[in-house]
C-alpha cells in the first residue's frame, strides 16, 4: 500500500535593510553592491581587536515597522545575542543576531482569500561578507563591504503546504517591505534571500512528524517554487521506497533544476548562543511603539480593496496599479488632477469614465512602454498633471486611439511632455466638426454608389466599408462615432 504524504513548509526570509550606515558602525551601507572590494570597511565591521559595536537605530525601527505591518507582537524588552560559528566571510567568528528575545513576535500575513501564514518572529542581525573563487586559481578572496549590513530575518510558522503559496508569500512580503520603504528587496542583488524548510508526513500521522530539510539561498521567486516542488517530489519518492529522510541543508542547482546536499543541519545549541556583552538590552515604551505605528502607510491589501470600491476598477487593474507603491501614488495624483479638470469644466466626459481610462492606459500601453524602456513610472518623465491632461483629451474624443498611442510615445521621449503641444505639432487632433464631415461623407457616398446599393440590400459590411473610406480620406483623423451617425442619417434619409 502506497501511503499519501502531505508537505509541511515554513519559510525563512533574510532582507537587507536600506539605511545610510551599517548595522553596528558608521561605514556606508552599500548593500554589498560596491564596484570595488573592501572600500566601506572599518575596525568594527572587520572585527579588529577592541572595536565595539554601536546599534543602528533606524535599522531596528525598520524591523519594528515591518512587525507592525505584519500584525506582530512587538517586544517591550529585547537584546542582541552572539551566534557562534566559523566561516571565512565572518571575520569575528560569530554573528551578532537575536535568539530568545527578538524585536518582533507572533504575527500573520494573508496571502490570498482563505489562506493566512503565521509569522513566528522577526529579528535583527548583521550580514556577512562575500567570498570569491577566481577561475583557474586555488585561492579564495574575501570582500567585507557587505559585512555588517543590517539584515532582517523573518521566520514563518509551518503553515504552507504547496510551492505556489510559498512563492506567493514571498511576493506579498516583498511588496509590503517596499511599501514600508525599508528595503528594495531586489532578489537578483541578494537583498532578499529565501530559505524553505520542507518536510512530509504520512496520512494519519502528526503533521510535524516528518524530518525537516532546509533549502537555502533561493534568490528568485521561480527558484523558491522550483526548489520546493523538486524537494517534495524527492522526499516523496524516498519515503515511498522506504528510505529515511536526513535532516540536512541543501542548495538549489539552477542549471540542473534540483536540490543538492550541502551539510548536516545545525541545531540552535550548535551555535552556542549567549547575550551580546558589548550591547546593553533594549526597552521600548508604549509611546515608542505608537510613534512607529503612525509611520505605517496604507498597506497593499487595504489599498487594493479601497481602489476597487472607490474607483470601480477591475481586479486586474487594481492588482497592477497597487503592485508598487510609486505606481499607486502616481495613479491617485492623476485622479486628483482629473477631479480638478472636471471642476474647471476642462473635462466634458464623466469623471468615472476618465479615471477608468487612466487606469486602463497605465495597465496596458504605459506599462508596456515602460517595460520596453526599462524605466519605472517615476522615471517616465510624465507628470501626473500631463498624464491627466492626456486622459482628458482621449475621454473627450479629441484624438482617436491610434493618435493617443503616438502622443504617449512622444511624451515618453521627454522632449515635450505636454500632450496638447504634441497634438498641435503633429496635427493629430480628431475631426469632429459635423459640417466638415458631412461634406466628406456626401463625397464618399457619391463616389461609391455600389456600396450604397449593397447597404440598402442588407449587406452590413458595406456600412463599414463606407466608414473606412471616410477615415482614409481624413487620414484617420475623423471621429468614427460622428462619421457613423452622419452616414446612417444619409443612408436612411
Shared domain check, 82 and 29: yes
pLDDT of residue 311: 95
Bridge partners of 150, per DSSP, are: 126
Mean pLDDT to the nearest integer, 305-332: 96
121-135, 346-360, 387-401, 449-463: segment of lowest average pLDDT: 449-463
Shared domain check, 363 and 336: yes
Shared domain check, 179 and 85: yes
Shared domain check, 279 and 326: no
The 10s digit of each residue's pLDDT in 359-399 is 999 999 999 999 999 999 999 999 999 999 999 999 998 88
Shared domain check, 473 and 454: yes
pLDDT of residue 285: 97
pLDDT of residue 432: 63
Mean pLDDT to the nearest integer, 331-358: 95
Of 426, 453, 476, the residue that ends a domain is: 426
Domain residue limits at 476: 434-492
Q: How confident is the model at residue 471 (pLDDT cuts 50, 70, 90)?
A: confident
Query: What CATH number does the domain containing 469 carry?
Result: 1.10.10.410
Shared domain check, 153 and 37: yes
**Residue 289, number of CB atoms within 10 A of its CB:** 15
pLDDT at residue 438 tops 80:
no
pLDDT of residue 1: 47
Contacts for 443-449: CB closer than 8 Å, 24+ residues apart: 443/473, 444/469, 444/470, 444/473, 445/487, 445/490, 445/491
pLDDT of residue 492: 76
Mean pLDDT to the nearest integer, 119-141: 94
pLDDT at residue 414 tops 90:
no
Mean pLDDT to the nearest integer, 215-244: 95
Q: What's the mean pLDDT when you consider all of the chain?
A: 92
Shared domain check, 280 and 327: no
Question: What span, in angstroms and rounded, lies between the C-alpha atoms of 325 and 333?
Answer: 12
Shared domain check, 99 and 191: yes
106-120, 247-261, 358-372, 411-425: segment of lowest average pLDDT: 411-425
Amino acid at each position: 500500500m502506497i501511503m499519501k504524504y502531505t508537505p509541511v513548509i515554513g519559510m525563512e526570509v533574510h532582507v537587507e535593510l536600506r539605511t545610510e550606515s551599517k548595522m553596528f558602525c558608521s561605514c556606508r551601507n552599500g548593500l554589498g553592491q560596491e564596484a570595488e572590494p573592501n572600500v566601506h570597511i572599518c575596525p568594527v565591521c572587520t572585527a579588529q581587536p577592541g572595536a565595539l559595536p554601536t546599534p543602528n537605530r533606524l535599522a531596528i525601527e525598520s524591523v519594528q515597522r515591518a512587525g507592525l505591518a505584519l500584525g506582530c507582537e512587538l517586544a517591550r524588552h529585547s537584546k542582541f545575542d552572539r551566534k557562534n560559528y566559523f566561516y571565512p566571510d565572518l571575520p569575528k567568528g560569530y554573528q551578532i543576531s537575536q535568539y530568545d528575545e527578538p524585536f518582533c513576535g507572533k504575527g500573520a500575513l494573508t496571502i490570498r482569500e482563505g489562506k493566512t501564514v503565521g509569522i513566528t518572529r522577526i529579528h535583527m542581525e548583521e550580514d556577512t561578507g562575500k567570498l570569491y573563487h577566481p577561475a583557474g586559481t586555488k585561492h579564495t578572496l574575501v570582500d567585507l563591504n557587505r559585512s555588517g549590513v543590517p539584515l532582517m530575518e523573518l521566520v514563518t510558522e509551518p503553515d504552507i503546504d504547496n510551492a505556489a503559496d510559498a512563492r506567493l508569500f514571498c511576493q506579498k512580503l516583498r511588496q509590503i517591505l517596499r511599501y514600508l520603504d525599508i528595503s528594495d528587496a531586489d532578489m537578483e542583488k541578494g537583498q532578499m534571500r529565501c530559505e524553505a524548510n520542507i518536510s512530509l508526513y504520512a496520512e494519519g500521522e502528526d503533521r510535524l512528524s516528518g524530518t525537516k530539510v532546509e533549502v537555502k539561498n533561493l534568490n528568485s521567486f521561480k527558484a523558491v517554487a522550483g526548489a520546493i516542488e523538486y524537494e517534495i517530489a524527492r522526499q516523496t519518492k524516498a519515503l515511498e521506497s522506504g528510505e529515511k529522510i536526513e535532516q540536512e541543508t541543501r542548495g538549489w542547482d539552477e542549471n540542473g533544476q534540483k536540490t543538492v546536499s550541502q551539510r548536516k543541519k545545525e541545531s540552535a545549541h550548535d551555535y552556542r548562543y549567549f547575550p551580546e556583552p558589548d550591547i546593553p538590552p533594549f526597552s521600548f515604551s508604549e509611546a515608542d511603539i505608537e510613534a512607529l505605528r503612525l509611520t505605517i502607510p496604507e498597506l497593499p491589501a487595504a489599498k487594493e480593496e479601497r481602489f476597487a470600491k472607490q474607483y470601480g476598477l477591475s481586479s486586474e487593474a487594481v492588482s497592477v496599479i497597487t503592485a508598487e507603491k510609486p505606481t499607486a501614488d502616481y495613479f491617485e495624483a492623476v485622479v486628483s488632477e482629473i477631479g480638478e479638470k472636471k471642476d474647471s469644466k476642462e473635462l466634458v466626459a464623466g469623471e468615472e469614465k476618465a479615471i477608468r481610462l487612466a487606469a486602463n492606459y497605465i495597465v496596458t500601453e504605459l506599462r508596456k512602454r515602460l517595460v520596453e524602456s526599462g524605466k519605472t513610472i517615476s522615471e517616465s518623465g510624465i507628470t501626473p498633471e500631463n498624464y491627466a491632461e492626456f486622459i482628458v483629451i482621449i475621454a473627450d474624443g479629441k484624438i482617436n486611439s491610434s493618435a493617443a498611442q503616438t502622443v504617449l510615445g512622444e511624451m515618453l521621449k521627454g522632449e515635450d511632455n505636454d500632450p496638447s503641444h504634441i497634438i498641435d505639432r503633429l496635427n493629430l487632433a480628431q475631426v469632429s466638426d459635423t459640417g466638415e464631415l458631412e461634406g466628406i461623407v456626401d463625397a464618399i457616398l457619391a463616389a461609391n454608389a455600389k456600396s450604397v446599393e449593397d447597404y440598402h440590400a442588407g449587406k452590413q459590411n458595406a456600412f463599414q466599408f463606407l466608414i473606412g473610406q471616410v477615415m482614409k480620406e481624413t487620414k484617420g483623423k475623423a471621429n468614427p462615432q460622428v462619421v457613423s451617425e452622419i452616414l446612417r442619417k444619409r443612408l436612411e434619409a
